[in-house]
Every structure is written in C-alpha cells, then in structure tokens.
Chains A and B, each alone.
Chain A
Amino acid sequence: MADEKKPVETTGHQWDDDEGYPLKEYNNPLPKWWLYTFYATIVWAVIYWVFFPAWPTLSGFTKGTLGWSQYKQLDEEIATAKAAQKPFDDQLAKMSLKEISQDPRLLQYAISGGKAVFGDNCAPCHGSGGIGAKGFPTLVDDDWLYGGSLAAIHETIDSGRTGAMPAHLEAHDGSFNTAQVENLTDYVLSLSNQPHDAAQAFKGKALFNGEAGCNGCHGDLGNGSLKGTMEGEALEASVGAPNLTDGIWLYGGSRKAINQSIAKGRNGKMPAWGSGFEGFGRKLDPLSIKEVSLYVHTLSGGSF
C-alpha cells in the first residue's frame, strides 16, 4: 500500500521481503514543536546548572550562583511567618491571661493559635476538640480534676499532672483483700446511684471514710478533691482525685472498671509542656502555652 503513495524516506532497514511487500522502517522527522521543546529543555538544564545546586564534584557540589538551598528557603519562610506574627506575639507575651481574655481581637488570635497547638500536641490523647477517651479526660465539660480556671488550666499544661490513685488489693501491694475491695466497689457504685449490693456498700462506706482513707483524697462524700471536704476541711486541689458521684468517669463506671481502679490503682500522666518539662513529649514555648490554655478554657464553654 505504501508503495502506491509517494515514497517516504526509510532507514534502509528491511525485513520479510519474501512476498514482495517488505516491512520497512520509516524515518519520519519528529514534529517540529516537539523537537524545539526538547532543545529548550536542554538549554533550560544548562541555565539551571549555573544558577542552582547541580553537579557533584570531588569534594562537594556546585552550589549555583543564586546560593539557593532548600534549607535556606525553609529558614526564610519561618522568619517571614514569625515577622508577620510578631506584633501580636509581642503583645501577648507581655500580657497576663486575664488581660488577653479582655481584648477580643487578641483573644481571637490567641485562640486560633491555641487550636493549632492543640491539634498537633494534645488531640491524640484528649481527642479532637477535647472530647477525651478512656484514661484521658474530656476537656469539653465542666467536670475538672485539677480546676477549670484559666490559672489552673495554665498550671496543668505548664507543669504537668500525675494522678496518684494507690493500688489497694493485696496482690498489687495494697493492704486490702478481695472482699474489702468488692465492698469499696459497691460503695463507689452507690455514690453514682448505680445498681449495687446495699449490705456490701455499707461495709465499703466504713472503709472509704476509715481504714482505707479514700476520703483523704476523694472527700467524705466522694465528690472529689476540688469540691469535697474531709471532716469539714477543704482538700488539696492538686491531688486531682475525681468526683465519684457525678457519673462522669475517667476510667469507666462499670463494676469491673471501678474494681480495677481500686484494686490496681491508676496513674494517669499529663505531660508537662513548659517549666515542668522533663524530656517527655515536646517542649512548648510560653506563648504557645498561653494560647492553648485560652483555647482549652473556651472548650468547656468557659466565659472570660
């Protein structure tokens, strides 16, 4: 067929010509636009070699006349962002939490900064938006372990907290037997009006406010170290013993979970992010801690 048309330039390479119709390799020129684009890329490459880091040498590499590097670019971007934030950041650094909370414009800036800090550092434990998870307290309600004032929240984040709920069962180095721990469990169940064995709970109550000394941390009424009292005296708020009467549980409110809490103890650890930093987690600068404190305060609907 090709033979009938105008002859085309071939490479001269032929196969299979037994039947008189040899297979030939055409030598069509490349489309012009393609060819020139190809030449342009070669020229571009040469220009690039001059301006940007390119070729390895025996002792390093050619750095390019622009002196560009990925690392310098990163440093510049960070510097630009810092400079843009500086007017705000300088003001925030000087002001107390209370003062910031009274300046709507700065407050909004701080809260959006705090939200980013929270997403990167806190959300994995406290859930996105602070909804919490088993062992990691929710921050969206008004039930606090250590206090929901701006100052208390700031201190929690800056210095960290460790819940010290001792183990009580003998098998876990406590000083009570299985039956006594059962009695305590029934009493704790009764505090939040859950189904329980009244006779056992009665014995549990005596232990709670007596030999076991639970009231020293959870208060005579079991309503926690923030609200509770022991024999009329306020408790040490920094203990962080939860309110056991409100049906909000850190480790679960089932019989089994409560029993485990009492038998084995619990030691939830909130890392320190500021002055109390102990190499665990990531250290945040004072400004980020302020911002995230304000953000956490808004989560629980706290008004300023």
Chain B
Amino acid sequence: MKHDTIEKSIPLMSILVVLVISIGGLVEIVPLFYLDSVIEKVEGMRPYTPLELKGRDIYLREGCYNCHSQMIRPFRDETERYGHYSLAAESQYDHPFQWGSKRTGPDLARVGGKYSSLWHQEHMRRPRNLVPESVMPNYPWLEKNSLDYADIAKRMEVMQTIGVPYSASMIQNAVADLEAQAIPDSESDALLERYGDKVVLDDFDGDAKRITELDALVAYLQMLGTLVDFSAYTAQER
C-alpha cells in the first residue's frame, strides 16, 4: 500500500493507527485475564463488609488516593517499612482498585491494625495534633455527618454484577450487618458468620451512639491489608 493512500484517507489511517497501538495492549493486557499466576492463591480474602464498603466510598469521595497509594512494591525499603509487598489477590474485589501512584503521604495498603481507632479519630480531625509536620488536610466533617446507608444493599448488588462474590444473605442483611459492626457491643455473630472472624468490631468514631462517616472510613482503614494470611502464603513461581 502506498504511503500516499494512507495519508489521504482519514478512516484508513485511523484504523491502522488503532491496529498498531492495540498490539501492545493485546500482548500486555489480554494474558492477564487468562493466566492463573496473575491472581495468587491466598487464604483469607473476602469482600468488604457493608460498613467498609461505605468507608471505601468516602475514601474515594474525599480523594484520599490523590496523596496515598495502596501498593507496596517488592523492594527492600518498602517491605521493611510497610510489610509484605502487595499481592494482586488483595485487590481482586476492589472496583476500581486503589493502587495509585502518588505518595504525598505514606502507602496505606497495610495500615489496618497499625494504629488504634482513637488515633485515627484524632488524626482525621486534625493530623497535626499527632504529626506536627503533616501536610494532610483536616477532615472534621466526617465525625459530624451521619452516615447515609439507605442504599447500601443496592451498592452491594452493583458490586455483585462486576464479580464481587456477595451472597444473597449478605445483601439481604446489609443494613443489619453495617449496624452490627459500627455499634459497639451489639449482636455481631451473624456478621462474623458471614464475613469471618477477622472483621474488626470497634467504636470506630469514638461516639457509641451514632453511626457517622468517620465510623465507615476508619472501619475501612482498619481492615486494609489485614485479610491475607501470610503464614499460609508461599510466593509461587512467577
């Protein structure tokens, strides 16, 4: 085909450009969908509880990902600071995933359980109360706003349609499970039955009487990176 022909026909040129560019995409992306070694076999992964899912939505709404990544790379300095490097399996129920690439603040992939909920309350209210040199903004409204979770079941259904394995009973009991996790000393057996014993139960916002946005966000933070049982994980051939 002559150069001239391609140059003078916009449709032809567009088709050829797309073809050339997709080769890279096809070779790099398509195998990720069928190769077994992409998502490691691990113990412990489960979908987010309703409260954590709401917390994750708030994390997105507030744009925390603009300053925080959730991806520990396999380098010695990172694993010594943050813990085991991140596995693809750990973000398999994350839609969209929160790997990020901007680290104004530290990586949060394994921040779960690192601090007490009391620490998070004080830190979200005003980070400089705890870390005088911090440039993280204050989020004082989170503990004031009541959490709106009327649509929680719907949100879980949407997640279900894109592959998150929520069961019918998880969706049916979404509101009850959310309240059981957020209100201290409430009946939580059914919640633990559905999501496993590792679910963190706490008074996340320091206010036992109300369920606030801070409850949801801190519940989400407290579970980050804690699910996979690394004692049962051995790095496979890659």
Do A and B form a real pair? Answer: yes
* Stretch among A181-189, A253-261, A276-284 lining the B interface: A276-284
**B63 close to A (CB within 8 Å):** no
Known A-B contacts A77-B76, A136-B130; A271 and B116 likewise in contact (beta carbons under 8 Å): yes
Contact check, B130 vs A74: say whether CB atoms are below 8 A apart.
no
**B94 close to A (CB within 8 Å):** no
Contact check, B113 vs A133: say whether CB atoms are below 8 A apart.
no
Contact check, B81 vs A120: say whether CB atoms are below 8 A apart.
yes
Interface string of B105-122 (1 = CB under 8 A from A): 000000001111011001
Known A-B contacts A60-B35, A74-B85; A124 and B115 likewise in contact (beta carbons under 8 Å): yes
Known A-B contacts A74-B74, A77-B76; A134 and B114 likewise in contact (beta carbons under 8 Å): no
Contact check, A127 vs B85: say whether CB atoms are below 8 A apart.
no
Contact check, B76 vs A11: say whether CB atoms are below 8 A apart.
no
Minimum Cβ distance to chain A for residue B92 (Å): 19
A268: chain B residues at CB < 8 Å are 118
Contact check, A81 vs B130: say whether CB atoms are below 8 A apart.
no
Minimum Cβ distance to chain B for residue A257 (Å): 13
Contact check, B131 vs A124: say whether CB atoms are below 8 A apart.
yes
List residues of A whose CB falls within 8 A of some B CB.
11, 13, 55-56, 59-61, 69-71, 73-74, 77-78, 81, 120-121, 124-125, 127-128, 133-136, 268-269, 271, 279-282
Interface bracket on B: 20 to 34
Contact check, B116 vs A13: say whether CB atoms are below 8 A apart.
no
Minimum Cβ distance to chain B for residue A158 (Å): 18
**B173 close to A (CB within 8 Å):** no
In this complex, the member of B4, B85, B115, B238 whose beta carbon has the largest number of chain A beta carbons within 10 angstroms is B238
If over half of A's interface residues share one DSSP class (helix, strand or loop), that class is named, otherwise mixed; here it is mixed
Minimum Cβ distance to chain B for residue A22 (Å): 15
**B79 close to A (CB within 8 Å):** yes
Known A-B contacts A13-B4, A56-B27; A281 and B130 likewise in contact (beta carbons under 8 Å): no
Docked Cα-Cα span, A203 to B60, in Å, equals: 53
Contact check, B76 vs A78: say whether CB atoms are below 8 A apart.
yes
Minimum Cβ distance to chain B for residue A112 (Å): 14
B114: chain A residues at CB < 8 Å are 121, 124, 281-282
Contact check, B116 vs A124: say whether CB atoms are below 8 A apart.
no
**B148 close to A (CB within 8 Å):** no
Known A-B contacts A269-B116, A279-B113; A135 and B122 likewise in contact (beta carbons under 8 Å): yes
Inter-chain pairs besides A70-B74, A78-B79, A135-B118, 19 sampled, C-beta below 8 Å: A13-B3, A55-B27, A56-B30, A56-B35, A61-B31, A71-B85, A71-B238, A73-B74, A74-B76, A78-B76, A124-B119, A125-B130, A128-B133, A133-B130, A136-B119, A268-B118, A269-B116, A282-B113, A282-B114
